[in-house]
Amino acid sequence: MGVAMEETFTALATDQGVRRIVFPGEDLSAGDWPVGERPATGQASRHMAEAEKQLEEYLAGQRQVFTVPVDLVDVTTPFRRRVLQALAQIPYGQTITYAQLAEAAGNPRAVRAVASACASNPLPILYPCHRVIHSDGSFGEYRGGRELKAALLEMERGGAGD
């Protein structure tokens, strides 16, 4: 059971850890990380390789928890960091609403800000914003596309590949 992908995710890292996950088909230069800055050697290279390995294991249905170090330098506000911390607490195979995530991040009235933080999440999958849905059960937008979000949730619930 897993999610078949024609292309793979790309991890960008610093010596401190993974800084960004790039979706298949996403412009590698999108965001604030110039392509020329992608490290190729040293600790950063090891972090990239380990993240990509763990992502492949996850997509194959063989990993539920990520252990690769992360570098949250691009997450510049305390609120967005709290949102990421709350995302990390969502159990594999489960979903919560944006309102529940806002509550978990310490500001129940900040539902739109939570949605914005999810949309700008530099480390999707590692911080599983795909597990957040609207209160009516609809998926809403997802940087990797709604089809990928649906496939990830189905895989986590044990339905993909059956």
User: Which residues are designated catalytic?
Assistant: 129
Long-range contact pairs involving 91-95 (C-beta distance under 8 Å, separation at least 24): 92/64, 92/65, 92/156, 93/156, 93/157, 93/158, 94/131, 95/131, 95/132, 95/133, 95/153
CB 151 within 8 A of CB 88: no
